[in-house]
Amino acid sequence: MKKVLLALALLLGLTAVSVPAEAHPESHSGFKRVAYFIQWGIYGRNYHVKDMETSGAAGKLTHINYAFGFVAADSTCYSADPWADWQRPVPAEQSVDGVADEPGQALNGNLNQLRKLKAKHPGLKVLISLGGWTGSARFSDAVLTAEGRQKLAASCVDLWLRGNLPGLAPGAGAGVFDGIDLDWEWPGSEGNAGNVIRPEDKANFTLFTGELRARLRAFDRSAQLTAFLPAAAAKIDAGFEVRQVFRNLDFATVQGYDLHGSWDPRTGHNGNLFNDRRDPNPVRFSVDQTVRDYLNRGAPARKIVVGVPAYGQGWTGVTAGGDGLWQPATGAAPGKWGAGTEDYKDLVTKPGKRFRDLRTGTLWLYDGNEFWSYDDPAVMLQKAAYIRLKGLGGSMMWSIDQDDAGASLTSALYRVLR
């Protein structure tokens, strides 16, 4: 492993960074290997908690972030889908242990399956993720006052960690979640249409993380608090007191994808590791740039967990030829679940010519019309080496259902970050 890391260090231009003794595979590195599990994946995608066990992914993760819980207008936490979360009877073929849910049992649905998964993997932590792109509209209102922050924090701990789920016996959901992940997109700057945004969000986010940390500590001192933070420096500065926030968090996952996408008029990289000299945009995004932005604002390196995508961003109408990169497009390429996006497991078999740039840590597919930027296991290895050699906290994948049946992306990260 040490020789592999040194070779990757040379490739990445990190020769000044020493490889720690913990690079030996038999030692315990402490790296976080996080993946999001999407609550709605059980429907059209037909992806279940059991699939993380079947693919082997569960044994290669340290954390699962369950997406998403929402914030109500009255400053309380609530489930976006109680049926998926705790009401749906899970049949034997979809159950982690092969045992079907029985009528009248205390807890059903994804939460019971997560509890079963944790029983098989005692070191695995599961966090409830609050917010998301479509679930962040009410954060600003909820945390505007001290009273609101206290109410929201108490409600989230009561619902998700104490397990006091509506319609069930008190504490029926206890023991599923080991902490809370905040995914407010974004304090103080634009997110999904209709989100409430205030200049006060920046200070209030810090205050809320402090309140939530105190509530979690009072409930269970081992309970964890994390947050998902943006890539763009403008959004960092508009919404986050970085040094203070990181003091309240066990770690933060930082956006390492959606750096470019079909909303752009020209093609680009979804999650490039380093800046691309060919990039014609006035602001150049990369994972490395984002990491440096957080370090420069006072974030501890070991608390920075780098987000990696298990999906690609795609454009259509790219007819300029060459390798297709940084070329005009007419719009979003068609995708199975939405325009402009496609899962890794589907992209890996898509026809076209593939291009790889080791200097930027990128891969893309171009067929003369469609252009797709995505990560494969080789890119994941390169990013994992960067994380390790820079002394960062680990990796986070959005989202586990987009990996293939053999957990190829998850396994690549695990090879380096175990």
Residues taking part in catalysis = 185
Closest Cα partner for 67 from 399, 405, 402?
399
Contact 393, 31 (CB under 8 A): yes
Closest Cα partner for 176 from 66, 258, 26?
66
Token pair 């990696």: residue = 308
Token pair 């989230």: residue = 156
* Integer Cα distance of 397 and 204 in angstroms: 28
List Cα–Cα distances, 129 to 93, 203, 229, 378, in angstroms.
Answer: 27, 21, 13, 29
Helix pair 377-389, 287-296: axis angle to 10 deg? 20
Token pair 């009273």: residue = 147
Contacts of 229 (CB under 8 A, 6+ apart): 236, 240, 252, 253, 254, 255, 294
Contacts of 282 (CB under 8 A, 6+ apart): none
* Integer Cα distance of 66 and 6 in angstroms: 35
Token pair 């079907």: residue = 100
DSSP, residue by residue, 211-251:
HHHHHHHHH-TT-EEEEEE-S-HHHHHHH--HHHHHHH-SE
DSSP, residue by residue, 241-304:
-HHHHHHH-SEEEE--S-SS-TTSSB---SS-SS--TT--SSS---HHHHHHHHHHTT--GGGE
Backbone angles phi, psi at 125, to 5 degrees: -105, 140
Token pair 């402490």: residue = 30
